[in-house]
Chain A
Amino acid sequence: AQKITQTQPGMFVQEKEAVTLDCTYDTSDPSYGLFWYKQPSSGEMIFLIYQGSYDQQNATEGRYSLNFQKARKSANLVISASQLGDSAMYFCLKGQNFVFGPGTRLSVLP
Chain B
Amino acid sequence: NAGVTQTPKFRVLKTGQSMTLLCAQDMNHEYMYWYRQDPGMGLRLIHYSVGEGTTAKGEVPDGYNVSRLKKQNFLLGLESAAPSQTSVYFCASSGAPGLSSYNEQFFGPGTRLTVL
Q: A1-B59, A43-B109, A44-B109 are in contact. Are A98 and B104 (CB under 8 A)?
A: no
Query: Do A33 and B45 form a contact, CB below 8 Å, given A45-B90, A45-B107, A98-B33?
Result: no
Mostly, the A contact residues are: loop
1/0 per position for B67-109, CB-CB distance to A under 8 A? Answer: 0000000000000000000001010100001001110111101
Instruction: Flag if A100 contacts B43 (CB, 8 Å).
Output: yes
Residue pair A103, B42 in contact (C-beta under 8 Å): yes
Given A52-B100, A95-B97, A95-B102, also A44-B45 (CB < 8 A): no
3 closest Cβ pairs, A-B complex: A33-B102, A95-B102, A45-B107
A residues adjacent to B (C-beta < 8 A): 1, 31-33, 35, 37, 43-45, 47, 50, 52-54, 91, 93, 95-96, 98-103
